[in-house]
Structure 1
Amino acid sequence: MLTFDVVVVGAGPAGAAAALAARREGATVLLLDRSDFPRDKPCGDGIASEAVTVLNALGVHGVTDGYPPVERLRLVAPGGAAVARSLPRPAHTVPRRVFDERLVRAAVAAGADLRRHTVREVHDDGTGVTVDGRFRAAVLIGADGAQSVVRRALGHAVNPPGHLAVAIRGYAPTTNTSEQVIVTTEQRWPAYAWEFPLGDGTANVGYGEVLRGAPLSKSYLRDRLDQLIPGSRPGVVRGHHLPLSTRRPSPVVGRVLLAGDALSLINPFTGEGIFYAVLSGSLAGQAAARKTDYRRALRHRLGRHLRHSSFAARLTRHSGVVDAAVEAAARDAAVFDRMVELGLGDGVFDLRTIGRIASRLGHRHPAAP
């Protein structure tokens, strides 16, 4: 049996970040994934600057090389109001086939042992964690995505309806080179379509909505995309689930930690998950190597933000609130910036933003005399 200080299951952004962080602390690291790299992964491919900042702190640079910055965001509200402004910090659109490959190679270059292996059984005996009777670690990190085997082994069920979204994405030709576009819809709200340009004449296009119990077909999701982004005509589309952060399992059980999608770290306000993945993976890898409190580190770094994003998710269940928020963002750049920081990074609401949205909501629904 091969023994390591840290075994990481899943070599996506959360797992690669965990391996990098643990190696920086001098730990021996085994990184397991069921796929070879490069490999495709259904996703919106949006890389926020906040995620790049986390990776830079881990010594990883150049992850967005070759993909030009996207400077602007256009957001269309369910009622038709729209705002288009410069992002507080530029974003990038990098296919996961490229982005994940760059991260996992950085982890290997840092000394992580990468092996292709499909994990089926995890056993924590109190003194260490054994994986499939072949590998053993002092601490194991489950970063194996929305269908996490490690999460199931800990007894955590998948997120229930209302806390789980489904989306499709494909690639399509576009003349758009400078704007991320998000088009929300009142029909089956909360739901939206997107177009994120790669800068080479193509864009990542997709559509997603929160599940309410009944399964949704790929043809239905594709029809909704065609309605909201007319003429996008993506080729092959792939679907994926997004476990929302409004229903998270415990991040620590014994000697096992969870990070990224396995911990349901998907922003319920926007569906963003890359920033959460690299940040939680970094915190998990550091805690595993140092034998410090991962739960406390997560709470310190993301606790306030997660409370605010959950509040935003509850507030925006009413599409009229989104209409008011977009109208407020069109009138006030500071409101726009706060909304972006809440949706793509670790931002929070402030009283000014809440006041501006409430004011627009009052204009839309004046009190009866």
Structure 2
Amino acid sequence: MHDADVLVVGGGPVGLAAGLMAARSGRSAVVLEPRDGPIDKACGEGLMPGAVAALGRLGVDPSGVPLTGIRYLAGSRTAQADFRDGPGRGVRRTTLHAALRAAVDAAGVAVLPLAADELTQSDDGVRVTTREPGRRPGPVVTARHVIAADGLHSPTRRALGLDAPATGTARYGLRRHHLLAPWSDHVEVHWGPDAEAYVTPVAPDLVGVALLSRRRAGYDVLLAGFPALRARLDAADRPPTDVRGAGPLRQRARRRVQGRVLLVGDASGYVDALTGEGIALGLAQAAEAVAAITAGRPEDYERGWRRASWRYTVLTEGLVRATRPAWARRAVVPAARAVPGVFAGAVHELGRVR
């Protein structure tokens, strides 16, 4: 006998969604997450319309601010396109996490305050030794299958020998919340010479700003490259929140399935946060993983992962590569203005409901 049909390693939004999907498919599920309460991390916090729809199918409706589209800015030049499949939503990551946790609890999925330590596979299941907070040994948990959703630098991916060398220039992300009323219902992407600033309204009195760059510099140093945005943020009458960081963003996996263990979300590999599709992508991958397990063919998830991820990979990889030279970065907004139909089509692809 196993403790669960599906053991999910990692209780972030994608891990919780995977546990909920497994339970909804008739499988017993357990989630391992040693951190207490809603987990905050560096994140753009913009849900594309596809992510809002996917959450809705799970009965999860986190509060936030409607987003009608994406606006690119470079100095005084702008290019804007609206979502065609309904609004997205700016949502604090902690709010999203709390909403998913409430749904998981309501579904009877146990979330154990444990970290996975060592995985051992057999013909009929996976044996996972655990540790409690403080690194005290925890109980052994067994399951028929494991879904690893343990993040960008996944210990599970590394322990299974599935890490692959990342190619290209490393990029890093920083995020901070500024306590002032949003001035737009669009996600704003400010293009600088060596960084982008993503501004997302997440509450009536709060905007999140995420900075992505190849430079390993502090938040204020990078923000100085966007003087108009910095002046607007400096007008807040309350100090901003602490800075959170992540990176290097690009991570690769040799494959996404090893025996009865399946990698989803950032643990399965990540290109960049440039297109803002992280949550939508993770939810789609979780659905494919649960479908393969339910069918009794976990090996099919490799093909399902590619089906869920190819569009993100092509769009994001292409945009990251195309905007690597300084001259190309300067051309992004003028090009979007010159061919608005192409820009609108790309925004539609980013937000398309599936």
| TM-score, L = length of structure 1 | 0.81
Give the counterpart of 1:259 among 253, 256, 264: 264
Shift of 1:196: 1.0
Does 2:60 align with 1:40? Answer: no
Q: Which residue matches 2:324? A: 317
- Give the counterpart of 1:108 among 98, 105, 108: 105
Aligned partner (choices 71, 74, 84) of residue 74 of structure 1: 71
| Paired residues for 1:222-241 under 5 Å | 222-228=220-226, 229-231=229-231, 232=233, 234-241=240-247
Matched residue SS, 2:334: helix
Residue 6 of structure 1: aligned partner: 6
The CA deviation at 1:31 is: 0.8
SS at match of 1:134: strand
Letter in 1 for 2:118: E
Q: How does 1:1-369 map to 2 (within 5 A)?
A: 3-57=3-57, 59-63=58-62, 65=63, 67-77=64-74, 81-88=77-84, 89-132=86-129, 134-157=140-163, 160=166, 162=168, 164-175=170-181, 176-187=183-194, 191-210=195-214, 216-217=216-217, 220-228=218-226, 229-231=229-231, 232=233, 234-241=240-247, 243-244=249-250, 247-267=252-272, 269-292=274-297, 293-343=300-350
CA–CA separation in structure 2 for the residues paired with 1:125 and 1:282: 24
Secondary structure, counterpart of 2:342 in structure 1 = helix
After superposition, give the CA deviation of every residue in 1:262-300 in whole Å (9 maximum; x if it has no partner): 112354643541111111112212222332311122223
Distance 1:51 1:298 in 2: 17
1:145–1:113 Cα change, 3 Å: same
Cα distance, 1:343 vs structure 2: 4.7
The aligned length equals 333
- Percent identity at matched positions? 29
Provide the C-alpha distance between the structure 2 equivalents of 1:136 and 1:269, rounded to a whole number of angstroms: 38
The 1-side partners of 2:332 and 2:126 are apart by: 47
Give, in angstroms, the shift of residue 242 of structure 1: 5.6
Q: CA RMSD in A?
A: 2.7
Distance 2:221 2:164 in 1: 27
Shift of 1:158: 6.9
Per-residue Cα deviation, 1:286-331 (whole angstroms, up to 9, x for no partner): 2223323111222233335523432333233234445444334324
Question: C-alpha deviations, 1:311-369, integer Å up to 9, x for none?
Answer: 3332332344454443343244432222224555699xxxxxxxxxxxxxxxxxxxxxx
Change (3 A) 1:3 1:272: same
2:133 match: none
Q: Give me the whole-angstrom Cα distance separating, in 2, the residues matched to 1:242 and 1:343.
A: 23
User: The residue matched to 1:152 in structure 2 has which SS?
Assistant: helix
Q: Is the 8 A contact 2:13 2:97 kept in 1?
A: yes
SS at match of 1:51: helix
Deviates more, 1:38-47 or 1:301-310: 301-310
**Structure 1 residue matching 2:3: 3-state secondary structure:** strand
Unaligned regions of 5+ residues in structure 1, if any?
Answer: 348-369
Q: Once structures 1 and 2 are overlaid, which stretch shifts more, 10-19 or 320-329?
A: 320-329
Distance 2:10 2:66 in 1: 28
CA displacement at 1:8 relative to structure 2: 0.3
**How far apart, CA to CA, are the structure 1 residues paired with 2:41 and 2:351?**
19
- TM-score, normalised relative to structure 2: 0.84
